[in-house]
Amino acid sequence: MPDSGLPFGVSGSSQSVQCARGCSQTADLIGPIKMIDQERGAGKLYMDPMAFRDPLWQFNKDGIYRFGSTGLNFLHGPGYWRLNPAIYKTFKITERVNTEFRVESFNATNTPAWSNPNTTSGGMRLDPVTGNLRTDIPFSTALGNFMTITGASTGRVIRFGLRVAF
């Protein structure tokens, strides 16, 4: 995948493996992975959610306990970059007293660092016969925020400082 952010995997419901100890389950990969990522936020898709299926959906059809077909952390979230400039200036007040003035900025361009998408494939509301997203409810409800990015880090921070050394 083209982005260079943090790795993530797509999870599925652990009920399809009947694991009593809280095992984690991955989703099935049923189609090509397509990057959508045109706009980020609630209800905006990052990757095509129809490429994945919760194994519990297949279990409900054939009753076979099994693990999902994807691995752990095989995808990458959105990358980010930051510009963190700082300016320092030292002034000599007397022979033994120095003063340092600082201006530091973190994320000076105020570029958001988006979090990874919601990866719980069990949140999708699927038609029990076809396996497609249900069309009798709103799209965002049927999707259950699966494969959407809903969070980002904080914005720009500018900090001033004055230090006196004697």
Instruction: Give, for all 166 residues of the chain, the pLDDT tens digit.
Output: 456 788 999 988 767 666 666 677 888 888 899 988 777 766 688 998 889 988 877 766 777 777 888 888 899 888 888 899 999 999 999 999 999 999 999 999 988 888 888 888 877 888 877 778 888 888 878 888 888 888 888 789 999 999 999 9
Nearest-CA neighbor of 11 among 128, 153, 137, 116? 116
Q: Give the start-to-end residue ranges of the domains of the chain.
A: 7-81+116-152
On whether the CB atoms of residues 72 and 86 are closer than 8 A, the answer is no
On whether the CB atoms of residues 120 and 11 are closer than 8 A, the answer is yes
